[in-house]
């Protein structure tokens, strides 16, 4: 007999758990396995396994879960556990792994060694998944995480389907797949990869990860815009003069020289992270905060990006490559002297692009995007520069009245600041710019969880809001392809053209100067 609870919510007892009212569980309730392809790699060690362990510590993982590592390395499960414990001890934000939770976590870790094109190895994986279903109660649900070089994505997906591990051939449960960026190396390769992915996985099961989107301040862009009434009325061409989006790093290519030399800043940062930020800043309010509605709005705004005019690409873009210099007082080598980088490389380590969004809201407002390595300071931010006041009432002849600027700080600082003009105390009407700052750390006293924890948890839950949909990826590639092709066909003879530790190349400043603008200091 189905009983009815006549509590405050009066909901049928069998349909919902009446004890859940007001007791939201952060726990993912569906059991599942997580399979990491490329499990011996750096990303798994530094980020993904510590993230899984912290999800366990926060009691966010489901009651029944298993974690399987898959990699070419000849480990057995006990070695995998040992290696993962070392990684957690070294990289977890919660400190070294501790019993009894570590033991409980470790017994759910297993490892399948093998090549990514070896059917027998995938059959072993299948056996392990079945064993987990039986012993850990994981219910046939699997989240695959492709943490391998992109060249292997297609092969792995094919093997999953061939071996009965994909959503179309598995006997029960669901399959989802997380694909690390970059999704393709250009428009054609992205489309080819998408064709392979979509043969096996429905778009709703594909989670293209861009860890930038998991950062708390990025998520707060929507809150700032759509949970406040004071900003949105000013958020258009009538009041905004320009928008600057910066993703500046002090690090060089580190151990990624081989990959980076074939990618460059435009592919590595602008096409994904920075364009995603642009979409969040410029999109219309979604009907509701669901994955589909938000991603629909992001796609619409990307669709409105004005296609690059090939004849103006050299004027509307800038590129750079770092030379030797110093960061924080320490000398650092030039890009061409980095390990695994071609000594004659023409790959850009800095890219700047001017874009326009041809829609009602943003017509005529330039969006300046830039990203670079080995710059003076690590700084990711979005700066909305408002127009000048229409008529000047105050100030002495020598006074300048600065435009209002709203800055959304993403990293390393997380917060919002607003620059506005104020009168300097005294008998005269001197006007000066002052800044009003809000910092998440001091404002809420809460340290944000790392982006990977948030994103893996979301994928396990089936929430795709913070992942990039194929149509947006394709549109972003379409936008940058003319730039990539032009740059490829016209090597920059001035490379290296900026010193490590500087603000970037002079050509980037010239690009803005043509619009009477200048970059904010990094």
Partner 1 sequence: MMPPAFPSADIAQIRNELAREKSHITTMNFIVWIDREENRGWVIQRAIKISEKHPSRTIILDASPGRIGASVRPLDPNDPTRQSTFIDIGVADIPPQEACEIATSLEADVPTVLCWSAESLGEDTAFRCFFAGGNLPVAVVDSSLGVRDATTILELAQFYQEHSNVSLRDLAWMRLHLWQDIVAHFFDDPALREELFSIRMVRIVAGSDAEALYLGGWLASRLGWTAIARDQFADRNGNPVAFEHERGGQARRIYSVALTTATSIYQASVDEGDASVVRVWAEGANARDVRLVPVQAIDTASLVERAALEDTGTDEIFETALRMVQTLIDG
Which residues of this protein are in contact with partner 1, per CB under 8 A? Answer: 1-3, 5-8, 13-14, 17-23, 25, 27, 29, 56-59, 63, 99-101, 104, 438, 442-445
Please identify, using beta-carbon distances, which residue of 100 and 427 lies nearer to partner 1: 100
| Nearest-approach distance from CB 230 to partner 1, in angstroms | 14
Please confirm, yes or no, whether 430 is among the known catalytic residues. no
Please identify, using beta-carbon distances, which residue of 62 and 320 lies nearer to partner 1: 62
Q: Which of 211, 273, 391, 430 is catalytic?
A: 273
Please identify, using beta-carbon distances, which residue of 25 and 262 lies nearer to partner 1: 25
Please identify, using beta-carbon distances, which residue of 58 and 399 lies nearer to partner 1: 58
Measured CA to CA, the distance from residue 234 to residue 26 in angstroms comes to 36
The answer to whether 260 and 268 are in contact (CB under 8 A) is: yes
Q: Is 309 exposed, middle or buried (0-12, 13-18, 19+ CB in 10 A)?
A: exposed
Measured CA to CA, the distance from residue 210 to residue 206 in angstroms comes to 13
CA dist 85 → 79, 88, 95, 118 (Å): 10, 5, 11, 28
Measured CA to CA, the distance from residue 400 to residue 358 in angstroms comes to 32
Q: Report the alpha-carbon angle 182-210-337, nearest 5.
A: 50
DSSP 271: I
The length of the chain in residues reads: 522
* Helices first, then strands: H and E counts in the chain: 17, 18
| Nearest-approach distance from CB 25 to partner 1, in angstroms | 5
Please identify, using beta-carbon distances, which residue of 135 and 202 lies nearer to partner 1: 135
| Nearest-approach distance from CB 57 to partner 1, in angstroms | 6
Residue holding tokens 């279903």? Answer: 133
Measured CA to CA, the distance from residue 36 to residue 145 in angstroms comes to 5
| Nearest-approach distance from CB 413 to partner 1, in angstroms | 12
Is it true that the peptide bond before 100 is cis, omega within 30 degrees of 0? yes
CA dist 443 → 53, 414, 507 (Å): 28, 10, 39
| Nearest-approach distance from CB 103 to partner 1, in angstroms | 9
Please identify, using beta-carbon distances, which residue of 2 and 228 lies nearer to partner 1: 2
| Nearest-approach distance from CB 59 to partner 1, in angstroms | 5
Which are the catalytic amino acids?
Answer: 273
């Amino acid at each position: 007999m189905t009983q009815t609870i006549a509590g405050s919510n009066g909901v049928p007892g069998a349909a919902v758990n009446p004890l859940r009212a007001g007791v939201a569980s952060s726990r993912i309730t569906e059991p599942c396995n997580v399979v990491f392809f490329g499990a011996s790699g750096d990303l798994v060690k530094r980020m993904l396994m510590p993230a899984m362990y912290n999800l366990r510590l926060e009691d966010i993982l489901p009651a029944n879960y298993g974690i399987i590592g898959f990699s070419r390395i000849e480990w057995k499960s006990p070695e995998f556990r040992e290696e993962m414990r070392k990684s957690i001890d070294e990289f977890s934000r919660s400190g070294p792994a501790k019993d009894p939770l570590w033991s409980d976590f470790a017994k759910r870790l297993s490892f399948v060694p093998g090549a990514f094109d070896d059917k027998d190895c995938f059959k072993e994986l299948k056996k392990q998944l079945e064993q987990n279903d039986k012993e850990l109660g994981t219910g046939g649900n699997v989240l695959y995480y492709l943490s391998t070089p992109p060249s292997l994505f297609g092969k792995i997906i094919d093997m999953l389907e061939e071996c009965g591990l994909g959503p179309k051939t598995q006997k029960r449960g669901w399959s989802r797949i997380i694909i690390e960026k970059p999704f393709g190396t250009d428009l054609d390769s992205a489309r080819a990869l998408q064709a392979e992915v979509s043969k096996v996985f429905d778009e709703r099961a594909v989670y293209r990860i861009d860890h930038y989107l998991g950062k708390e301040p990025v998520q707060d862009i929507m809150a700032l815009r759509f949970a406040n009434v004071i900003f949105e009325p000013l958020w258009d061409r009538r009041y905004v003069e320009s928008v600057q989006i910066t993703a500046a790093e002090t690090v060089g290519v580190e151990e990624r020289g081989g990959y980076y030399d074939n990618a460059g800043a435009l592919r590595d940062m602008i096409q994904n992270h920075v364009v995603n930020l642009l979409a969040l800043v410029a999109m219309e309010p979604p009907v509701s905060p669901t994955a589909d509605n938000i991603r629909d709005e992001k796609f619409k705004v990307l669709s409105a990006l004005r296609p690059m005019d090939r004849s103006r690409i050299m004027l509307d873009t800038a590129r750079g490559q770092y030379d030797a210099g110093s960061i924080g007082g320490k000398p650092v080598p030039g890009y061409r002297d980095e390990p695994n980088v071609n000594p004659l490389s023409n790959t850009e380590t800095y890219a700047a692009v001017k874009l326009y969004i041809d829609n009602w809201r943003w017509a005529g407002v330039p969006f300046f995007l830039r990203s670079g390595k080995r710059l003076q300071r690590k700084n990711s931010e979005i700066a909305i520069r408002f127009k000048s006041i229409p008529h000047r009432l105050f100030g002495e002849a020598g006074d300048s009245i600065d435009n209002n600027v709203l800055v959304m700080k993403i990293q390393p600082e997380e917060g919002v600041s607003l620059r506005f003009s104020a009168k300097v105390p005294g008998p005269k009407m001197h006007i000066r710019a002052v800044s009003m700052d809000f910092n998440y750390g001091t404002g809420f006293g809460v340290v944000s969880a790392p982006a990977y924890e948030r994103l893996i948890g979301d994928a396990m839950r089936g929430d795709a809001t913070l992942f990039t949909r194929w149509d947006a990826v394709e549109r972003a590639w379409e936008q940058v392809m003319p730039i990539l092709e032009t740059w490829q066909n016209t090597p920059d003879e001035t490379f290296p053209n900026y010193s490590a530790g500087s603000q970037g190349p002079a050509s980037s400043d010239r690009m803005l100067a043509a619009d009477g603008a200048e970059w904010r200091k990094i």
